[in-house]
Amino acid sequence: MNAGISIDLRSATPPYEQIRSQISSLIAMGTLVPGGRLPTVRSLAADLGIAAGTVARAYKELEASGLIESRRRRGTVVAFGTPGGTGGTGTVPESVTGAVDLLISTARDAGLSDELLLDLVRGKLGKGRPSTEPGLGQSRL
């Protein structure tokens, strides 16, 4: 079971970042709910055909951001009160997901690649943001 996560090895985005981003998105959409278990590092790595260290790095970054928690004997779970959702529930209003779906559809109709669309959104989100704060999706290494 890979929880709907996939990796594009041809992408310029590193695999660990693809995993981190997809899990973060699944949490924000409410697909992964607080207390819900994530696949083990080894299991997800095997399903995706990548090194366990790659998945471990993604999980480490998700844990550092407060989205997931690693618990001994209970595995890795989605944290309660996950940030970024409305009211700490980790869910996004349907109006927002509908707008995102429309944006994706419009971009694909225009022939834009997913990477370019993400770059455009990141650029728009970064406008007016203090330069000391990392932008959406930027690594905080």
Is residue 46 one of the residues assigned to a domain?
A: yes
- Residue 6: which CATH number? 1.10.10.10
Q: Are 41 and 78 found together in one domain? A: yes
Give the chain's length: 141
Residue ranges making up the domain that contains 79: 1-89
Q: 84 CB contacts (<8 Å, ≥6 apart)?
A: 24, 27, 28, 67, 90
Q: Would the pLDDT of 51 be above 90?
A: yes
pLDDT recorded at residue 93:
76
Q: To the nearest whole percent, how much of the chain has pLDDT over 70?
A: 80
Cα–Cα distance, 81 to 139 (Å, whole number): 23
| Stronger pLDDT, 121 or 20, i.e. the higher one | 20
Burial category of 54 from C-beta neighbours within 10 Å (exposed 0-12, middle 13-18, buried 19 and up): buried
Is residue 73 one of the residues assigned to a domain?
A: yes
Beta strands in the chain (DSSP E): 68-71, 75-78
Phi, psi of 95, deg, nearest 5: -65, -35
Q: Are 84 and 125 found together in one domain? A: no
Count of domains forming the chain: 2
Count Cβ atoms below 10 Å from residue 115 Cβ, excluding itself: 12
pLDDT recorded at residue 47:
95
Q: Which two tokens stand for residue 139?
A: 């690594």
Q: Would the pLDDT of 34 be above 70?
A: yes
Is residue 137 one of the residues assigned to a domain?
A: no
pLDDT recorded at residue 91:
63
Q: 136 CB contacts (<8 Å, ≥6 apart)?
A: 121, 122, 125, 126
